[in-house]
Structure 1
Amino acid sequence: MWQSTTSNMYAWELPTSLEVGGCEYKIRTDYRVILDILAAMNDPEIFEPDMTEDEKRQEQIMTMLQILYIGFDNIPPRNWQEAAEKACDFIDCGIKRDDRPKPRTMDWEQDAPIIAPEISKIAGRDIRIGETHWWEFFGYYMGIGEGVFNTIVSIREKRRKGKKLEKWEKEFYQSNKKLVDLKVRKAERSEEEKEALRELLGIKK
């Protein structure tokens, strides 16, 4: 059973490697790498339909390890669980989180055109150019204040809870339904699409 543990990472540094089994292993730290991992972890369509839930979970974890660790092949199988725990801590930015599932109020892919400019404004540069450490990127994301993105998330949350929208929120929603409404994930991909996605994410059949 894979379980995340409390991180011991030093909060004032941007980690570029993780210690597993007493050895340091370099990791890919750019935020786009982590977003690829999150996409894989939340996309059941990339796995074989006859897999059990446990098998899918194990495949998700192996995918995360293969993407994140530059030298994953050098990590002994006996240390894979520790490697997964350290990877989860890194992705969570060293913050202990409540494991209870939460309703989806944003989508990194769908909301990218809105989030990227707001994060770039906070960063003082276009974060789409060059690499940005995941922790740095997430810090910028957490610093997003009043603006279009927060308005969209607020309206999504109110609609989810059945709360009444303010007049200006109703007008905003009517004018921006495509931005506000979270897209339903595609129910089924073609085998060609699945295979291309597996190859992109490094998933071995």
Structure 2
Amino acid sequence: MIGVLPKALVVNGISYPIYSDYRVALLIFDMCDDDDISDKYKTYGCLQLLLEDYTQIPQKDLQEAAEKAKWFLDGGDMSKSKEYPKPIISWEQDESIMFPALNKVAGKEIREVEYMHWWTFLGLFNEIGEGLFSQVINIRAKQAKDKKLEKYELEFYRDHRDLIDIKYKLTPEEQAENDFVNSLFY
């Protein structure tokens, strides 16, 4: 039906209520960015966070539930976004520049709104115009596809590299190596 925001997923003909607030979706994406969690556990974690009672879904329907969850998180039948060889958004890292851009589109502080449907959030996100957040994302998108940056983009990148480069969590081994190297100099 036109204009209806789903608040349940229909799996094998049964409707299962979901937590449709944008904050839940962001928690799911944050979890999925954790390289220490296997894909299998990410799928279960997604279902546990999204569905009000995921234990009600029969084991045989979990694959379909995961597909429906992906459909919901992708915004339903919205046209698919471009695929990039590496991530261009870090929901956690970009929070400080993303929310001001979203607030500008919404005309209010959306973090203070008690509830906002994930698809409403996506709609605001898709309407973000020119500004700091879009400039950061555009540079990351070009870098992800190994495209040459314009002179002004290179200058912006040099000045704001810490904002543009996505910081990845280190494995315990990598962290130990960094700590060892740092201990040699300090």
TM bracket (short chain): 0.7 to 0.9
> Structure 1 135/98 Cα, relative in aligned 2: closer, same or farther at 3 Å?
closer
| Farther off after superposition, 98-107 or 175-184 | 98-107
Cα distance between partner residues in 2 of 1:153 and 1:100: 13
Cα distance between partner residues in 2 of 1:134 and 1:32: 8
Cα distance between partner residues in 1 of 2:71 and 2:153: 37
The answer as to whether partners of 2:7 and 2:17 remain within 8 angstroms in 1 is: yes
Q: Which residue of 2 aligns with 1:163?
A: 148
Structure 2: stretches of 5+ with no match in the other structure? 174-186
Which structure has greater helix proportion?
A: 2
What are the superposed Cα offsets for residues 108-139 of structure 1, whole Å, 9 maximum, x if unpaired?
Answer: 11111111011011112111112211100011
Cα distance between partner residues in 2 of 1:33 and 1:16: 13
> Structure 1 60/121 Cα, relative in aligned 2: closer, same or farther at 3 Å?
same
Q: 1:105 aligns with which of 88, 95, 105?
A: 88
Say which structure, 1 or 2, has more relative contact order (CA 8 Å, 6+ apart). 1
Q: Which residue of 2 aligns with 1:14?
A: 5
The answer as to whether partners of 2:8 and 2:16 remain within 8 angstroms in 1 is: yes
Q: 2:162 aligns with which of 164, 173, 178?
A: 178
> Structure 1 162/102 Cα, relative in aligned 2: closer, same or farther at 3 Å?
closer
Please state how far the C-alpha of 1:77 moved relative to its aligned partner. Answer: 1.4
TM-score scaled by length of structure 2 = 0.81
Q: Which residue of 2 aligns with 1:44?
A: 35
Q: 1:81 aligns with which of 45, 48, 63?
A: 63
The answer as to whether partners of 1:155 and 1:165 remain within 8 angstroms in 2 is: no
Using the aligned pairs only, state the percent identity: 36
Q: Secondary structure at the match of 2:166?
A: coil
Cα distance between partner residues in 2 of 1:18 and 1:179: 37
Q: Secondary structure at the match of 2:4?
A: coil
1:84 counterpart letter in structure 2: A
Please state how far the C-alpha of 1:68 moved relative to its aligned partner. Answer: 0.6
What are the superposed Cα offsets for residues 80-99 of structure 1, whole Å, 9 maximum, x if unpaired?
Answer: 12211111110111136489
Q: Which residue of 2 aligns with 1:143?
A: 127
What are the superposed Cα offsets for residues 18-40 of structure 1, whole Å, 9 maximum, x if unpaired?
Answer: 11222211100111111111122
| Farther off after superposition, 118-127 or 95-104 | 95-104
Structure 1: stretches of 5+ with no match in the other structure? 1-9, 48-55, 190-205
Q: How many residues align?
A: 170
Q: 2:50 aligns with which of 53, 68, 71?
A: 68
The answer as to whether partners of 2:29 and 2:91 remain within 8 angstroms in 1 is: no
Cα distance between partner residues in 2 of 1:81 and 1:156: 33
The answer as to whether partners of 1:17 and 1:26 remain within 8 angstroms in 2 is: yes
Cα distance between partner residues in 1 of 2:132 and 2:123: 18
Q: Secondary structure at the match of 2:111?
A: coil
> Structure 1 89/111 Cα, relative in aligned 2: closer, same or farther at 3 Å?
same
Cα distance between partner residues in 2 of 1:99 and 1:119: 20
Cα distance between partner residues in 2 of 1:159 and 1:79: 39
> Structure 1 165/27 Cα, relative in aligned 2: closer, same or farther at 3 Å?
same
